[in-house]
Amino acid sequence: MSEGIDLTVIDDGDRSTITVERGTTLRDALRNEGFSVYGTVSSTLNCGGRGLCATCTVEVDPAPEPVHWHDRGAVRFGYPRLSCCLEVDRPMTVRLLEKHVWGQVLPRR
């Protein structure tokens, strides 16, 4: 059995800890625990974790090096990271973002 890695998840001010198997995609890890990384429409209409729709963004700290072309673009232009393009390989703090319909990030309150 693989070692578990703790993730701190911040969702609208609530902070919780989940333990994730090393190598799990961050998107899948969050969804498996009942967290949504999407907006209302993109929760159904998304690319299924292929790194194409850019609707699964989250903020992560520490931020891993990007390995996917689309996630490299997110880093280059200062956008949140694509959770489907990040494998959990270390403890991280993940902040979920409030999104509108497709996945546009709403300004923080």
Closer to ligand FES by Cβ: residue 17 or 40: 40
C-alpha distances out from residue 51 to 3, 35, 85, 87, 91, Å:
26, 19, 6, 13, 22
Output the six-digit token pair for 29. 């890890």
Least distance (Å) between residue 1 CB and ligand FES: 27
Nearest approach in angstroms of CB 20 to ligand FES is 17
Q: Identify residues 29-88 at the interface with ligand FES (CB under 6 A).
A: 46-47, 49, 51-56, 82, 84
Q: Which is nearer to ligand FES, 8 or 79 (CB)?
A: 79
Q: Which is nearer to ligand FES, 17 or 32 (CB)?
A: 32
Sign of CA dihedral 61, 97, 20, 16: positive
Maximum pairwise Cα distance, the chain:
41
Q: Phi and psi dihedrals of 100, rounded to 5? A: -115, 125
| Of residues 24 and 46, the one with the C-beta less far from ligand FES | 46
Position 26 contacts ligand FES (CB under 6 A): no
